[in-house]
Structure 1
């Protein structure tokens, strides 16, 4: 068992390339989807929760209060395009392509090429209500930024099992 498997912290994968968090502050490959939070281009107080399903590329985009995105009608909106671009920066193109089970032409793959390959399959809009759980994880992620760095355990992380038996 490696050291990170014995610790009570999750292993963090460093980004493939540095990225700016202003446009897409949260992106993850989870629950069979590429999903995340994308800032609105027109209203600083509005964010969109966008997702693309693995394999089918079914997509969803709505505001944080569940209003549908006006641009996600029949095809990927700009928010989903920005999410794909940032996922490629965060995780690397190869990992994102593999996770989404996408078939892209050989050569240099970027977010635009990946989105184009997925659009060519004519994905359908997804009516799932994953937005609430994604936005909730984003808010939890933000809450950890308010903590001052300490080495003491956090009470809400008590569910991790101890690394060795306590006598």
Structure 2
């Protein structure tokens, strides 16, 4: 059994390319969406929870206090653009395009072309409802970053079944 299988941590896939966390501290491909937390450009105390649905490209962007983004009216706002850019850095253009079901030739896959290919978009009320869960995961993610590395189990992660070598 390897060391990581005996610890309370999981193996992390390294990013496709290094990225700066100041603008987009949290990005994930989950729940059928590209979603994450984007820092405000004008207020250091404000963040936006942004998302784009796979396939339909329906989008949502609101503050952590559930106020709608003023720039996300009929098209992607700057927060969603930054989210797509950072997702491409984190996961690579191929994985983001495949997850979001964006039809762009492989040799042309970059953040700008992915955003342009998703132009037939509309605001999504369903994605807006998920903002609280995304922000909550972001806060939990921050809390885990403050923990010292340990091999003892974390009580809140008890739902993971233990892994044992089968003889």
Same fold? TM cut 0.5: yes
Number of the residue aligned with 2:159: 159
Shift of 1:9: 4.1
Which secondary structure does the structure 1 equivalent of 2:107 belong to?
A: coil
Q: Structure 1 residues 32, 3: closer, same or farther in 2, change over 3 A?
A: farther
Separation in structure 1 between the aligned mates of residue 93 and residue 3 of structure 2, nearest angstrom: 25
- The 5 Å alignment of 1:76-155 reads 76-119=76-119, 122-128=120-126, 129-155=129-155
The number of residues matched between the two structures is 162
Shift of 1:132: 0.4
Separation in structure 2 between the aligned mates of residue 32 and residue 4 of structure 1, nearest angstrom: 32
1:92-141 alpha-carbon deviations (Å, 9 max, x no partner): 0000000000011442421111000111xx21100120100000000000
> Over aligned residue pairs, what C-alpha RMSD do you find?
2.0
Structure with the larger RCO, 1 or 2 (CA within 8 Å, 6+ apart) = 2
TM-score with structure 1 setting the length: 0.90
Separation in structure 1 between the aligned mates of residue 147 and residue 64 of structure 2, nearest angstrom: 24
TM-score with structure 2 setting the length: 0.90
- The 5 Å alignment of 1:64-75 reads 64-75=64-75
Number of the residue aligned with 1:11: 11
Gaps of 5+ in 2: none
Shift of 1:88: 0.3
Number of the residue aligned with 1:44: 44
Gaps of 5+ in 1: none
Shift of 1:157: 1.4
Q: Structure 1 residues 4, 100: closer, same or farther in 2, change over 3 A?
A: farther
